[in-house]
Structure 1
Amino acid sequence: MPPLAPPFLQPGQRVALVSTARKITSAEVAFAQQTLADWGLEVVVGESIGAASHQFAGDDDLRRRDFQRQLDDPSIRAIFCARGGYGTARLVDTLDFSRFAEAPKWVAGFSDITVLNCHLLRLGYQSIHGVMPVLFGQEGGAAAVASLHAALVGEPATYTAPAHALNRPGTATGELVGGNLSLLHTITGTSSQADFTGRILFLEDLDEYLYHIDRMLLHLHRSGQLAGLAGLVVGHFSQMRDNAVPFGQDAYQIIDYYAQRYTFPVGYSFPVGHEADNQALVVGRPAKLVVDATGSQLHQ
């Protein structure tokens, strides 16, 4: 069966703010809290907001307890993960999705939240890869926030990217899967690994050495995860780092090095990832990728 879409949001419904990863203060989510209220939503602030245990938003048990509470509460219709960083993968094996299955709800976030996006997809549910509350007020980010709202209320979306020298023309249809490359690598071989077969994969990453990008893509290639792709969407690869002896390729060239082994269409420079223009994608929703001489379009 195709992944189930939770009910779209309606004004007056309750939503929750939590952090499954890095710590965050109440002040840092104040702008997002007001934005959600302006959308007509009642905002519940979880106990992980403002909690701290070293770099985490409280220890593993607190973050798990907070997220589990929001999963179990049928009156909460969406959970916004306030920020990324690191820590979500430490929780996922201890979460119980049985009450969530009785009343599915949207889970939204990106970066470290890729773990939840993929875990939910494996369980048979759609979720949203989109801008997080800590970034709602960033300069140039208004369109990203608007796209998140559109996804939550069920509006269709079309995203475009300019022509790129590494694009491979073609048309692909399939459910969207993907997110942060580092996290896709981390969950390989675990109960959170999502199947890429027949799906359109999208990738983004931040602050990685170029040889790490190569190593992770090599792993996806050697483990067979790229072999059955319908198409590939490449987003932002931001703040990449290099060694004293240069790797010799940038991130897009490294991706192309592996993509050349396959025949699926590839579109580069999509507005997805760790930049202000981070458009919301619904993981698990059917999509159509068109790559031609004019650029790329992703319809969802």
Structure 2
Amino acid sequence: MTADMHPLCLVRSAALPRGGNIALVSPSRPGDAASISRTVAYLENRGYSVVVHPQASATYHYLAGPDARRADQVMEAFTDPDIHAIICNRGGYGSGRILDLLDYDHIRCHPKPLVGFSDSTGLQLALYARCGLVTLSGALGDTDLAQDPPPATTVTSLFHLLTESTPLGEIATHPDSMCLRTGSATGPLIPANLALLCSLLGTRFAPDLTDAILLVEDVWEAPYRLDRMFTQLRLAGILDQIAGLALGTFRRCFVPEEMEHGPTLEEMVLDAIGTRDLPVLTGIPYGHMANRVVLPVGTNCLLNATEHRLTLLDAAVDG
């Protein structure tokens, strides 16, 4: 099956208009007042109006309120006809708890670009799986837009994807990127936190990864836990379905105290891949790192592992 024959019908949102309205929501942990204020100030300085949902800074244990209320804020942002885009304020934990509380039929009929990262992966993968909605992965309010100044690569890629009906194009790989398996493939790009992706396998919120280019990253996971997750991808048949595999950063995962007798990331991945004919490239600037690139979930890309290239082929929004 080629990428053009991929069974999922993609849903692209309208581009964020000049002076448009952006909703700030917290489907996971709550945001603190100071970071929310800085995020609002940054977006307003760019000419946008910002609606901060009251639930964005609410607290319920380590969550931004009970599950039903966090789901309601997401649905209200999609329902409000005056909102043009949605930005998740913070990651952490909790987005997976609201996935069965969302009205995906309504979201499909009222699409809007949703921006998130880290724990928001669960929400974004579910929106892709159930709606075909293209979302944007790689930015949050508190860790990115609230910074002074915000990371240049992050905001440049974010606002291109939000406002331009042209592809982002080639993503510059890290100078130390490695081609673990030669070859090239074209397919829908699925950037994801590895742990969040694995948590959805076997549920109705897991995306169809047939012929996809899977890009994974993670943070604060010991090597044996990463090994378990790559093994889970193998046992679940994911590595037999995808057309290519790309690796972002795995920050604070391979620290010296965890590495005695342990494999490197590259060895771990190659063990999982086995004899599969699959292009594999490391060094994509996506993950829990400074100045990460923002990437669309579900649009076509070209992975050329031999030439160390990842190129986005389609726009994320409609003009």
CA distance in 2, matches of 1:127, 1:264: 26
> 1:196: Cα distance to partner?
0.9
Counterpart contact for 2:124–2:135, Cα < 8 Å: yes
> 1:26: Cα distance to partner?
2.2
Counterpart contact for 1:171–1:289, Cα < 8 Å: yes
DSSP-derived class of the 1:232 partner: strand
> 1:83: Cα distance to partner?
1.0
How many residue pairs were aligned?
299
Q: Which runs of structure 2 are paired with 1:191-270 in the superposition (5 Å)? A: 191-240=204-253, 246-270=260-284
CA distance in 1, matches of 2:46, 2:193: 28
DSSP-derived class of the 1:58 partner: coil
Query: Is it true that 1:125 corresponds to 2:133 in the alignment?
Result: yes
Q: Using a 3 Å threshold, how does the CA distance of structure 1 residues 179 and 248 change in structure 2: closer, same or farther?
A: same
Q: Using a 3 Å threshold, how does the CA distance of structure 1 residues 96 and 297 change in structure 2: closer, same or farther?
A: closer
List per-residue Cα deviations over 1:98-122 (Å, max 9, x = no partner): 3322221011111111112211111
Q: Using a 3 Å threshold, how does the CA distance of structure 1 residues 206 and 244 change in structure 2: closer, same or farther?
A: closer
Counterpart contact for 2:179–2:305, Cα < 8 Å: no
Q: Counterpart amino acid of 2:172?
A: T
Q: Which residue of 1 aligns with 2:44?
A: 37
List per-residue Cα deviations over 1:247-275 (Å, max 9, x = no partner): 51133331232134321211101100100
Q: Counterpart amino acid of 1:226?
A: L
Q: Using a 3 Å threshold, how does the CA distance of structure 1 residues 163 and 37 change in structure 2: closer, same or farther?
A: same
CA distance in 2, matches of 1:138, 1:260: 45
Runs of 4+ in 1 over 4 A off after TM superposition: 241-245
Aligned residues: percent identity?
31
DSSP-derived class of the 1:189 partner: coil
CA distance in 2, matches of 1:216, 1:244: 16
List per-residue Cα deviations over 1:75-118 (Å, max 9, x = no partner): 21111111111000001101113332222101111111111221
Counterpart contact for 1:211–1:247, Cα < 8 Å: no
Worse overlay, 4-13 or 138-147: 138-147
Q: Which residue of 2 aligns with 1:274?
A: 288
Worse overlay, 246-255 or 44-53: 246-255
Q: Using a 3 Å threshold, how does the CA distance of structure 1 residues 84 and 138 change in structure 2: closer, same or farther?
A: farther
Selected match of 1:156 from 149, 167, 178 = 167
CA distance in 2, matches of 1:43, 1:139: 19
Q: Which residue of 2 aligns with 1:27?
A: 34
Q: Which residue of 2 aligns with 1:284?
A: 298
C-alpha RMSD over aligned residues: 1.9
Counterpart contact for 1:108–1:128, Cα < 8 Å: yes
TM-score normalized by the length of structure 2: 0.88
Q: Counterpart amino acid of 1:121?
A: Y
Q: Which residue of 1 aligns with 2:185?
A: 172
List per-residue Cα deviations over 1:8-65 (Å, max 9, x = no partner): 1111221100111112112112222122223322110011222111211122222122
Counterpart contact for 2:177–2:282, Cα < 8 Å: yes
**Bigger helix fraction:** 2
CA distance in 1, matches of 2:90, 2:267: 29
TM-score normalized by the length of structure 1: 0.93
**Unmatched tracts of structure 2, length 5 or more:** 1-7, 314-319
